[in-house]
Structure 1
Amino acid sequence: MKIGNNTNVPHNIEMTWPNKINIGENCSLENSIFFKHCGSWSKGYSIHIGDNTFIGKGCEFNISQKITIGKDCLIASGCKFIDHDHGMELSALMRIQKTINDEISIGNNVWIGVNVIVLKGVTIGNGAVIAAGAVVTKSIPENEIWGGTPARKIGQRT
């Protein structure tokens, strides 16, 4: 695990592969965060958190490919980030189908409200705001405000 200068990482976070986590400088992490890398061992980071970012209590990063979080972000408590899901073909049991993976990318200066879920393949643009409880299934442009299930545009930052 790579931890930048002046970053607060509590003692009770959980992780499966510490070598897959890169946390920038001046970050603040609260208790009970779970960093789960679902893939096999490999070199390089799959969870990258930019400088000056806050991550609230009880967040979960369930990552098989990669998540990148920019600088100066606010991620409230209880958020979940999942970059994969299962196939749903009728010809095979769901539990044995191949997973479908796609990276998550979060820009700089993004605010993600409490209990938001961000799913595979999503890019959240710089300056975007995601309302509490949203389920983000598609990419969000810069400086837009999104909310709901599934998330949709509800406003624009000015």
Structure 2
Amino acid sequence: MFAKLKQLRDLYLVKFKWRHYDIGKGFHAGARVRLWAKDKITIGRNFYIGRDSQIEANCIIGDNVIFGNKTAVVGRYDHCFQEVGVPVRLASQIRDNDYRWKGLMETTVIGDDVWVGYGSIIMSGVTIQDGAIIAAGSVVTRDVEAYSIYGGCPAKKIKDRFETEADRIKHIGLLAK
């Protein structure tokens, strides 16, 4: 019974609440998830986004991606903080129709087979390549290499995801089948 309710909730989110975004099959969102983009959000197949998470930037997400709880993709330039004589709180913001400052063309790209750990923040305009893992609590401000583990604030490469190149190649080959 509970599984059916989850499926119905996810169907409602995809087909009604977030219908203007392109969301693939196998989507699941935990409680209190928010999605918003100036232009587009595209999500591949089998995407899971944990509770209390949000995407508030243009974003393209691949297949088989998992976002832990309390994760976020946020805009780097959501408010025009350089408007002379205007407090940041009152400055123009990316949600305004006439916003013409930085950030309008930024899109965050997250490849296939990516895991974003609990409480991580990804800034807009970043590319996280296939197979990467973002450690819990990280702040991603720059691009992330494929099949690597990044962590920290700002996030830096910790190590490769697989211990050997042979394991990485085997993993990629098995996913391609």
Work out the CA distance in 2 between the residues paired with 1:111 and 1:156: 14
Contact 1:128 1:142 in 2 (8 A): yes
Work out the CA distance in 1 between the residues paired with 2:85 and 2:19: 34
Work out the CA distance in 1 between the residues paired with 2:118 and 2:8: 20
Give runs of aligned pairs for residues 78-157 of structure 1, distance below 5 A: 78-85=70-77, 86-89=79-82, 91-93=84-86, 94=88, 95-96=90-91, 99-101=101-103, 102-157=106-161
5+ residue gaps in structure 1? 1-6, 40-44
1:76 equivalent to 2:76? Answer no
Identity among equivalent positions (%) equals 27
Contact 1:9 1:30 in 2 (8 A): no
- Bigger CA radius of gyration: 2
* Residue 42 (structure 2) aligns with: 48
Contact 1:10 1:31 in 2 (8 A): no
Contact 1:134 1:149 in 2 (8 A): yes
Which structure carries more strand by proportion?
Answer: 1
Q: Deviations over 1:12-45 (max 9, x none)?
A: 96xxx734322111222221111123x3xxxxx7
Deviation (angstroms), 1:91: 3.4
5+ residue gaps in structure 2? 1-5, 93-99, 163-177
* Residue 42 (structure 1) aligns with: none
- Residue identity in the other structure for 2:114: V
Contact 1:125 1:141 in 2 (8 A): yes
* TM value normalised by structure 2: 0.70
Deviation (angstroms), 1:92: 4.2
RMSD: 2.4
1:60 equivalent to 2:48? Answer no
Deviation (angstroms), 1:9: 6.3
Deviation (angstroms), 1:54: 1.2
Secondary structure of the 1:121 match is coil
